[in-house]
Structures are given as structure tokens and as C-alpha cells.
Chains A and B, each alone.
Chain A
Amino acid sequence: SAVISQKPSRDICQRGTSLTIQCQVDSQVTMMFWYRQQPGQSLTLIATANQGSEATYESGFVIDKFPISRPNLTFSTLTVSNMSPEDSSIYLCSVDALEGYTFGSGTRLTVV
């Protein structure tokens, strides 16, 4: 099964700053997905990232706030920009692997 590595695993950031989260997969995948999981809540899709094209954002999420890069078929980054305490969440990377949609262990972000 696909193995996903996310960095950092957790961070505490000051409001107004930005954090870039990295997602590395051990195999080539067409689509990579970024989710947000607010404390005690379910998962919400932020955007879908395809290599060589701009990410597709879901309703309520915009590129200026969550810019995404997808330079190749095994790597993607999500940046959380101009952070506020409301951005405190777990951010998860996911891929569509042969065995189904696989998730990374997540990045636990706290904004103070």
C-alpha cells in the first residue's frame, strides 16, 4: 500500500505567519488531496492537486489562503497563509492508491 509521509507532524505558530506542510508518497500517484480536520470534527476536503495543473479548491477554500504546489507525481505542499487561531486543525494529505484512499498521519497545527 502507498506510504505517505507528512512534515511537520505538529507545529505551534504565531498568528499572521504562514506554514508550509509537505506530503511525500512512496509511489507515483495522479491525484493528491488535502483535508482539514478541525478539533473533534470530521474531515473536509480543501483541494485536489494534480501534477502540472493548478489545484482545484472546494467551496469555502481559496488559493490565496491555502496555496498548493504539486511539482511531481510523488510530492505536494500545502501552505496555510496569514494564520489565525481558527486555522488550528489537523491537516491531512491523501492519495488515491490501488487499495483505496490512503491518508498520511497529519500535521497538527496550533495557532497562537
Chain B
Amino acid sequence: GENVEQHPSTLSVQEGDSAVIKCTYSDSASNYFPWYKQELGKGPQLIIDIRSNVGEKKDQRIAVTLNKTAKHFSLHITETQPEDSAVYFCAASIGYKLSFGAGTTVTVRA
């Protein structure tokens, strides 16, 4: 099955700085790559996604890039704010099955 690796496991950034989380996947057939934000006590919230026919997608302060050749994709958060502090998960999908990375705990220092 699909194997998704996510790095780093923890990330601490100063407010206003950028945060980057990277994921790699193993199955070249994966075609959908969502990112989720999970706050304490809540379910995962979809924040951005990208499909395999697109290299980059941006939504305000959040962007995702995809390199199909290298089989990796990244989440970029610019101008970080304290409310960005959460656990972020990447995922890769073949068909309807999502395989998740291990998660990155992001802490934004005020």
C-alpha cells in the first residue's frame, strides 16, 4: 500500500516567519494530496489540497507544491500567526483511500 513520510515531526517558528512541512509518498499512482490541520480536541480540517495534474496551489497564506517525479509535496505557511499552532497532517490518495503522514506539531511563538 501507499506509504507517506512526513517531516519534521515538530516545528517551532517565530510569529511572522514561514513554516514548511514536507511529505514523500511511495506509490506513483497516488493522484490526490490533501493537507489537514488538527487542533486539540477537534477532528482534522482540510486546509488545502492538490491533484497530480497541478504543480502548485495557493490559498491566501497557505500554498502546496507537488513534485510528481520526486514523489514529494510540501505545505508552506507564510506570515505565521499564533492560531496556526496545531498538528498538520499530509495525506496521499489512490482512488478513495487516504494514507496519512505521521503529523507535524507546529508551534508559533509570539
Contact = CB atoms under 8 A, between A and B. Distances in A.
B49 A43 contact: no
A48 B98 CA distance: 11
Given A42-B89, A45-B98, A105 B43 contact: yes
A104 B43 contact: yes
A100 B34 contact: yes
B97 interface: yes
Interface of B: 34, 36, 42-46, 49, 89, 96-103
Contact of B34 (A4, A33, A92, A101): A101
Contacts of B34: 100-101
Nearest to A92: B43
Contacts, number: 43
Contact of B46 (A4, A41, A48, A100): A100
Nearest to B99: A45
Contacts of A41: 102-103
A91 B59 CA distance: 29
A103 interface: yes
Contacts of A86: none
Interface string A44-61: 110010000000000000
Contacts of B102: 41-42
A21 to B, nearest CB: 13
B96 A102 contact: no
A103 B49 CA distance: 15
A31 interface: yes
29 contacts: A4-B43, A31-B96, A33-B96, A33-B98, A41-B102, A42-B102, A42-B103, A43-B44, A43-B98, A43-B100, A45-B97, A45-B98, A45-B99, A48-B96, A48-B97, A92-B43, A92-B44, A99-B46, A100-B34, A100-B46, A101-B98, A102-B46, A103-B36, A103-B43, A103-B44, A103-B45, A103-B46, A105-B42, A106-B43
